Amino acid sequence: MSSLTKGPMLKRACIVLLGVLYMVESGYADALDNPLFAYKNSMEVDGPESIAEQVQILADIGLDGFDNRELENLAETLAELDKHGLKLYTSYFAVRIDPGEVPYNPGLAGALPLLKDHGTILWCNTHSKQFKPSDPAGDALAVPIFQEVADMAAPYGVKVAPYPHINLWVETPEDTLRLAEKVDRPNFGTSFNLYHWKVLGDRQRPIEEVAKALTPEMYVMSINGDEGPHDIGPLEAEDIDEYYTVLKAFLDQGYKGPVGLQSYLIPGDPRQNLGQSYSVWKQLQERFRNAPAAP
């Protein structure tokens, strides 16, 4: 076994063991206490332009935090979230791996001090024109870029994870795992997006297999309803079985990290859309509380 794989494999084994011990001791009592945050795009169709108003909506509903795009308006966003005791869980962050491209936002170095000790994750949508989605031939270019970003972020307590997105170079949950193993940095991990996993179609692996593989190094995941544009919408009570199955797969592996509400191009008042999703989330929490203890 190479030194490159020993570190990640040992870390995964330890985290899996801790997760199993947790579930044996507690069953599902209070299991779904993961933080729930809204994507920034939940406000980008019919929401208010003011960041203060956007954050106020999140606080009024009871959500735990927010997302950000490309570090825009970062200082203002952090200040408004701090006022309400909320957290900036993620920043959607573009990475380009092709030679000759600017690999990532050059403002990152200046932004990282603002993010110090906020626990924010740079969630990297990763692009290539040279390589097809999921092509591991791009790893030789991508890994050094991700190592550089992770090393820059580490002193500030910022984590980094690739964002699996259909038709982008990082397309599947398994792509995020492959990169996490190769990047081999303690602040670089995996992630999961429900919508982009579902649209993989026959390339989709069973959710239990995905969760088992990803969870030991997973930093963030998202869920969504499918009654909306592009089959993305607020959470729906009639689809609660699907959400429960997906979340249970990760909780069974010990996942305790944040869950984002995917909200791309959803029209209408974000108070209503996010409020509906939060209501379904509370129903999910109740269902987990009433579930039998793990064997």
> Which residues in the chain show pLDDT less than 50?
1-6, 13-27, 29
pLDDT at res. 292: 77
Q: What's the pTM?
A: 0.89
33-288 — its CATH code?
3.20.20.150
**What does the buried/exposed string (b/e) look like for 25-40 if buried means 16 or more CB atoms within 10 Å of the residue's CB?**
eebbeebbebbbbbbb
Triad 45, 46, 52: Cα angle to 5°? 105
63-66: long-range pairs with CB below 8 Å, 24+ = 63/36, 63/37, 63/38, 63/261, 63/274, 63/278, 64/35, 64/36, 64/37, 64/89, 64/258, 65/35, 65/37, 65/38, 65/89, 65/258, 66/37, 66/38, 66/40
| Predicted local confidence at residue 42, as pLDDT | 96
**Mind listing the pLDDT tens digit for each residue in 141-197?**
999 999 999 999 999 999 999 999 999 999 999 999 999 999 999 999 999 999 999
Question: What is residue 116's predicted lDDT score, i.e. its pLDDT?
Answer: 97
Confidence at residue 23, expressed as pLDDT on a 0 to 100 scale: 43
Interhelix angle 108-115/139-153, nearest 10 degrees: 50
